Structure 1
Amino acid sequence: MIDPYETLGLERDADEQAIKAAWRKTAKTAHPDSGGDAEAFGRLQACYDLLKDPVRRKVYDNTGYDPQLADPRDLQGILRLETLVNDFILDEREPGSFDPVAAMRRKLSDDIVKSRFHILELERHRARVRQHIDRLGRRPAADVLGSMLRTRSQSIADAIRNAEAQIEAIEQAYTMLEGYSYELELLEEVKAAE
């Protein structure tokens, strides 16, 4: 995640004038017409746009995320965590009687194992398709079977890439849970409350 305050050299409590002044100062040297990098200037512009918009700025200040500045991997991780958060919010057990953070970690770990197993299965199928392609003998000018098998092999390769991307998103979500803990009630306190 790009920190717009850091990028513009601002304190978190900077007012509108300070934001404009910082923008002008950095834009002079960062603009491509002044020898700056176009990509870096684009990030600078995105930071300025976020900080000058009071609603986006408040959301960023409260969450630390802005979709336009976020690394796509972070967004994928957040989407994974969002479904897990919904699951534990809907859990009927009393807060404090179970550890939702540990449950999210277990679920993410299980999903990684399932995705890796799925990749192994896909690779096995792709190898079998390739073996069939290699064993096809004399082929007519319109190689219908060969074309179908090559297309199938490509589809499997695409599915493998998608599964690998899912694993990356899951691992990113797991990383985002680092540092969190959850306080459980002692068993006696739970019994006394009943």
Structure 2
Amino acid sequence: MIDPYDIIGVARDANTASIKAAYRRRAKTAHPDSGGDVETFARLKAAYELLLDPVRRKVYDDTGYDPELADTKDLKGLMVLEKLINEVILDEREPGSFDPIATIRRKLTNEIVNARFHIMEMERHRARIRNHMDRVGKRPSADVFGSMLRARSDAIADAIEKAEAQIKDIEQAYGMLDGYSYDVEVEIETRNAAE
């Protein structure tokens, strides 16, 4: 994630006047008319707008997330996590009685395994189609059958590419959970039995 405080060059508790002053200093050199980079200036402006908006700033401070400043791959990872976070929120078990982070990690691992298995199956089907294509004698005029097989092969190749992109998104989401831990309460009965 991109840190707007770092981009502007202010502390997390900076007031509006400090943010404006720091923005003006950075904008002088970052602006494209002053020889700066268009992309860098756009990020500077987005960070400035976020920090001046009290609602967006609070959301960012609470979550570390703002859609306008996030990397595309981070956004894709967040979308994967969002679905699983909703499942954790809807879980009827008492907070502290299970580890939601470990639960999400298991689900992400299962999704990766399932996607890889699906890719293997698609590759097997694609190989069979190619085998048929190699054995089909072509008609001198229109190759309808060959065209149909090629179209199926191309469609499978596209599906494989999408599944591989999905795996990358899931792996990004998994990496976003690095460093987290969760304290699970041990039930009193379990403690007494152990003693």
**Correspondence list, 1:18-97, <5 A:** 18-97=18-97
Give the Cα–Cα distance (whole angstroms) in 1 for the partners of residues 169 and 127 of structure 2: 26
Give the Cα–Cα distance (whole angstroms) in 2 for the partners of residues 54 and 188 of structure 1: 44
Give the Cα–Cα distance (whole angstroms) in 2 for the partners of residues 170 and 110 of structure 1: 10
Shift of 1:130: 2.0
1:187 equivalenced with 2:187 (yes/no): yes
Q: Indicate the larger mover: 100-109 or 58-67.
A: 100-109
1:2 equivalenced with 2:2 (yes/no): yes
Letter in 2 for 1:137: G
Deviations 1:93-130, CA, capped at 9 Å, x for gaps: 33333222222111111111111111111111122222
SS in 2 for 1:29: helix
Give the Cα–Cα distance (whole angstroms) in 1 for the partners of residues 141 and 46 of structure 2: 55
Residue 5 of structure 1 contacts residue 11 of structure 1 at CA under 8 Å; is this kept in 2?
yes
The TM-score with structure 1 as length reference comes to 0.88
Shift of 1:190: 7.0
> Would you say how many aligned residue pairs link Structure 1 and Structure 2?
192
Shift of 1:22: 1.8
Residue 97 of structure 1 contacts residue 190 of structure 1 at CA under 8 Å; is this kept in 2?
no
The TM-score with structure 2 as length reference comes to 0.88
Q: Indicate the larger mover: 182-191 or 154-163.
A: 182-191
Among all aligned residue pairs of Structure 1 and Structure 2, give the percentage whose two residues are the same amino acid. Answer: 66
Cα gap change, 1:117 to 1:42, in 2 (>3 Å):
same
Letter in 2 for 1:46: A
Root-mean-square deviation (CA, aligned residues, Å) is: 2.0
Match of 2:16 in 1: 16
Cα gap change, 1:138 to 1:186, in 2 (>3 Å):
closer
- Structure 1 unpaired stretches of 5+: none
Match of 1:144 in 2: 144
Residue 19 of structure 1 contacts residue 51 of structure 1 at CA under 8 Å; is this kept in 2?
yes
- Structure 2 unpaired stretches of 5+: none
Give the Cα–Cα distance (whole angstroms) in 1 for the partners of residues 163 and 182 of structure 2: 30
Q: Indicate the larger mover: 85-94 or 122-131.
A: 85-94
SS in 1 for 2:11: coil
Letter in 1 for 2:95: P
Give the Cα–Cα distance (whole angstroms) in 1 for the partners of residues 86 and 151 of structure 2: 39
Cα gap change, 1:139 to 1:37, in 2 (>3 Å):
farther
Letter in 1 for 2:75: L
Shift of 1:189: 4.8
Match of 1:132 in 2: 132
Residue 19 of structure 1 contacts residue 48 of structure 1 at CA under 8 Å; is this kept in 2?
yes
